[in-house]
Amino acid sequence: MPKYHIWTIGCQMNKAESDRLASQFEELGYEPTAKVNDADLVVLNSCVVRQSAENRVVNKLAAIRPQKKARPDVLLALTGCLVNSDTDALKKRYPHIDYFFKPGEHPPWLEDSGDLSLPRHPSPTAYVTIMQGCDNYCSYCIVPYRRGRERSRTIAEISEEVSELVGRGVKEVTLLGQNVDSYGHDLPEKPELADLLQELNAIDDLLRIRFLTNHPKDMSDRLIDAIAGLDKVCEQINLPVQAGSDEVLRAMNRGYMAEQYLNLISRIREKIPGVALSTDVIVGFPSEIETQFRQTADLLSGVKFDTVHIAAYSPRTGTAATKLEDNITLAEKKERLDIIEKLQEEIATEINARLRGETVEILVEGRKRGKWYGRTRTDKLVFFSNDGDCAGQLIRVRIDKTSPWSLQGTVE
């Protein structure tokens, strides 16, 4: 049996894409191998969001060159964000790679194999990409230059895919886009994310709907109402703030001020009781002085997010922020990173501890180290023991133990 190997780095969109490719290859009779040198087909799914990620991809491309030399019949392909519109330049730079295809495109050597894109035996939870690209130009971000302008899939197309996945056993979908709040504005009828959620909410046997990522300047009250009113849409919102200082937000070209962000949070909490909030922050942006960093820490202390994804700023060639001097030392960035991590650990400890003794409903995703695990509607990871097969079931669990990162409980 021929073997395939997929190497993936980057965001959930890349992971979703790689799952699909794996399923296509298995339909065609390939089997997976963890050893790249054993593979007859190798796909590298690239990420360029940070310079360090792009460097890893470039190193990987170099590392597989000898394999092609030793075995010219092995098929090598590159996809993901390194593949831009200038594939000729890529072909010149990496002549040992047979195929280049953009994220979301069909692998060119499978053009005639029809629609094999959905996994045959998916897990209970699946990612569904609803749009590609981004029209914002946050000054530190390379995504709009690499993934291009926003391109939304139609509601009919997404709905068909979700129904198909549900027919194959999926119970929960997470809709993906760089900025899901601007979903649909490029389509003739200009549907909004709220319209898409309403349509998907009506699919029988689908239990839960989530989505990522929101943009504070684009999130509408209509969407907040939809989350509050649609029973399958989970009470969980990822709303990256990035900084608590207006000067830093302006330099980042985020398009909102801290107060607007906080007002949005208040509206969300008012309309969606018990909502779980997560955010992203960048510390050490060029010229971020101590008081500005403190404003970020104060905002996090005030809002008390369930989860915070923290990154230290690193310049990305090709973005506007590289014109600013990267003048915060590595040691200072590290110190700020540590402060936020510690702060968030305390906040998450406190939030999760409130669940001790409570009963929560979880959708079971799988088994890890002898325990079943799943998530609450608010995205809390819960572990429990059970002898039966619980995968894909909604189970009520009483929480016995909590930590900042996960919960443990007993089936009721």
**Which residues sit at the interface with ligand SF4, rule CB under 6 A?**
134, 136-138, 141, 143-144, 178-179, 215
Beta carbon of residue 263, minimum distance to ligand SF4 (angstroms, whole number): 20
Judged by beta carbon, residue 178 or residue 352, the one nearer ligand SF4 is: 178
Beta carbon of residue 55, minimum distance to ligand SF4 (angstroms, whole number): 19
Judged by beta carbon, residue 50 or residue 56, the one nearer ligand SF4 is: 50
Judged by beta carbon, residue 41 or residue 251, the one nearer ligand SF4 is: 251
Beta carbon of residue 97, minimum distance to ligand SF4 (angstroms, whole number): 26
Judged by beta carbon, residue 215 or residue 333, the one nearer ligand SF4 is: 215
Judged by beta carbon, residue 305 or residue 372, the one nearer ligand SF4 is: 305
Judged by beta carbon, residue 182 or residue 352, the one nearer ligand SF4 is: 182
Judged by beta carbon, residue 179 or residue 344, the one nearer ligand SF4 is: 179
Beta carbon of residue 259, minimum distance to ligand SF4 (angstroms, whole number): 20
Beta carbon of residue 46, minimum distance to ligand SF4 (angstroms, whole number): 16
Beta carbon of residue 312, minimum distance to ligand SF4 (angstroms, whole number): 16
Beta carbon of residue 133, minimum distance to ligand SF4 (angstroms, whole number): 9
Judged by beta carbon, residue 99 or residue 137, the one nearer ligand SF4 is: 137
Quick one: three-class SS letters along the chain?
CCEEEEEECCCHHHHHHHHHHHHHHHHCCCEECCCHHHCCEEEEEECCCCHHHHHHHHHHHHHCHHHHHHCCCCEEEEEECCCCCCHHHHHHHCCCCCEECCCCCCCHHHCCCCCCCCCCCCCCEEEEECEECCCCCCCCCCHHHHHCCCEECCHHHHHHHHHHHHHCCCCEEEEECCCHHHCCCCCCCCCCHHHHHHHHHCCCCCCEEEEECCCCCCCCHHHHHHHHHCCCECCEEECCCECCCHHHHHHCCCCCCHHHHHHHHHHHHHHCCCCEEEEEEEECCCCCCHHHHHHHHHHHHHHCCCEEEEEECCCCCCCHHHHCCCCCCHHHHHHHHHHHHHHHHHHHHHHHHCCCCCEEEEEEEEEECCEEEEECCCCCEEEECCCCCCCCCEEEEEEEEECCCCEEEEEC
Beta carbon of residue 141, minimum distance to ligand SF4 (angstroms, whole number): 3
